């Protein structure tokens, strides 16, 4: 499994979090390191921490520190207690802003069920005591029902379609950043200063998302050696640590080349093959841009363009995917470009039935114009 910068950061956080976990969680993490990414394991252990804290709070575990929770607590956990944990999660309020809260989505609860199922499965089938038996046999998590999110393919595709650029709006967005954004910033402001410093870099990032459909983690981990200007393609590390090479819109590669012309001088960056492409300047030296920093700048520019609504890098990826399907109608090419393994996922970007329904509704409406 390839080590991305994000994975290394998550591995450090995982190692720290495991220190406060019961011994059997440490064993689980050690066993799964070679088959699960540090990011996945970190999310799982965060879920375990939440679960163990709940066990202590409800006096189901007779201890004060989650590290002292014994295996017998999990072995003897009642079904109604396990269900109560997930119900408590579902009913809690999550703060969106100072005036608004929301309930967790079903998919979030399902992920926590999956995380705990993985731990319980390990403890009941993949461990071994001195007598050759697993730590315990009773797996209460198998009795907890996963509430599947009921949503048709058309509904999912329509949800994606509502939150992306349409009808060459992506081109208009890039033109806005290039020609108009600077003039809308307050005069002599810090935002104006930083935009002047970072405009080539930021424009190259936006252009690359819209010209390749890569994920934010794939972009942040790009090295100089991954760029092929002759063939207009880049090499990326996909989910699961798989290496891949994908085609990029030539204009996006041109925008990338313009950024590279100022990269060394502007950010004090070196030009070694293994250096990260997208950097910022920290204490007068180059430092790789984090995923969060990239997400923030995408939201900043898209909100400025849309006035009241920001977009994420993933929405730019969806925009690229939809444009590619419109141009080629080739679902296998789309799967190749996005790194998908399922035609069902790829089909979200091609929804002809929805378009037919819109056209039919419009034609039906034409009959009423003279009423």
Catalytic residue among 44, 267, 320, 349: 349
State the Cα–Cα distance between residues 40 and 33, nearest whole angstrom.
Answer: 10
Among 239, 266, 315, 336, the active-site one is 239
Q: Is residue 332 flagged as an active site residue?
A: no
Task: Kindly name the residue from 201, 317, 318, 320 that is annotated as catalytic.
Answer: 317
Query: Is 36 noted as a catalytic residue in this protein?
Result: no
Q: Classify 198 as helix, strand or coil.
A: helix
Residues contacting residue 8 through CB under 8 Å, at least 6 positions apart: 38
DSSP sequence for 189-233: -HHHHHHHHHHHHHHHHHHHHHHH---HHHHHT-BGGGEETTTTE
Structure tokens at 252: 């996006």
The DSSP annotation for 170-188 comes to: HHHHHHHHHHTTGGGSPTT
Hunting for tokens 């379609």 — which residue is that?
A: 161
Active-site entry in 215, 238, 263, 318: 215
* 239 is known as an active-site residue: yes
CB 234 within 8 Å of CB 282: no
Residue recorded with tokens 């579902």: 90
Extract the tokens encoding 102: 């929301």
**Candidate list 46, 121, 199, 314, residue with the active-site label:** 314
Radius of gyration of the chain (CA): 25
User: Rounded distance, CA 169 to CA 167, Å?
Assistant: 5
Just list the catalytic residues. 215, 239, 314, 317, 340, 349
């Amino acid at each position: 499994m390839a080590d991305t910068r994000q994975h290394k950061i998550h591995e450090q956080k995982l190692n720290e979090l495991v220190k406060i976990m019961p011994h059997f969680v440490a064993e689980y993490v050690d066993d799964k390191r070679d088959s699960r990414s540090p990011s996945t394991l970190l999310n799982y252990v965060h879920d375990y921490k939440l679960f163990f804290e709940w066990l202590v709070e409800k006096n189901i575990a007779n201890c004060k520190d989650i590290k002292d929770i014994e295996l017998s607590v999990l072995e003897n956990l009642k079904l109604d207690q396990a269900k109560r944990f997930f119900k408590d999660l579902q009913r809690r309020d999550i703060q969106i802003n100072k005036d608004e809260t929301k309930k967790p989505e079903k998919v979030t609860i399902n992920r926590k069920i999956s995380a705990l199922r993985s731990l319980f499965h390990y403890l009941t089938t993949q461990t071994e005591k001195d007598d050759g038996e697993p730590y315990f046999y009773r797996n209460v998590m198998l009795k907890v029902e996963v509430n599947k999110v009921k949503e048709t393919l058309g509904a999912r595709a329509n949800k994606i379609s509502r939150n992306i650029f349409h009808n060459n709006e992506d081109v208009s967005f890039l033109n806005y950043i290039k020609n108009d954004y600077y003039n809308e910033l307050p005069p002599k402001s810090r935002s104006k200063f930083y935009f002047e410093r970072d405009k080539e870099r930021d424009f190259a990032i936006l252009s690359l998302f819209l010209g390749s459909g890569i994920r934010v983690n794939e972009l942040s981990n790009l090295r100089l050696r991954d760029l092929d200007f002759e063939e207009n393609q880049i090499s990326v590390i996909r989910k699961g640590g798989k290496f891949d090479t994908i085609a990029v819109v030539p204009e996006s590669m041109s925008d990338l080349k313009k950024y590279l012309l100022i990269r060394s001088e502007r950010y004090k960056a070196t030009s070694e093959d293994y250096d990260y492409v997208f950097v910022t300047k920290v204490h007068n030296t180059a430092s790789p841009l984090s995923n969060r920093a990239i997400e923030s700048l995408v939201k900043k520019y898209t909100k400025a363009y849309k006035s009241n609504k920001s977009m994420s890098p993933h929405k730019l990826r969806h925009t690229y995917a939809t444009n590619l399907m419109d141009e080629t109608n080739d679902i296998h090419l789309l799967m190749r470009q996005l790194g998908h393994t399922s035609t069902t996922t790829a089909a979200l970007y091609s929804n002809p039935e929805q378009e037919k329904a819109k056209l039919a509704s419009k034609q039906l409406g034409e009959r009423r114009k003279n009423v």
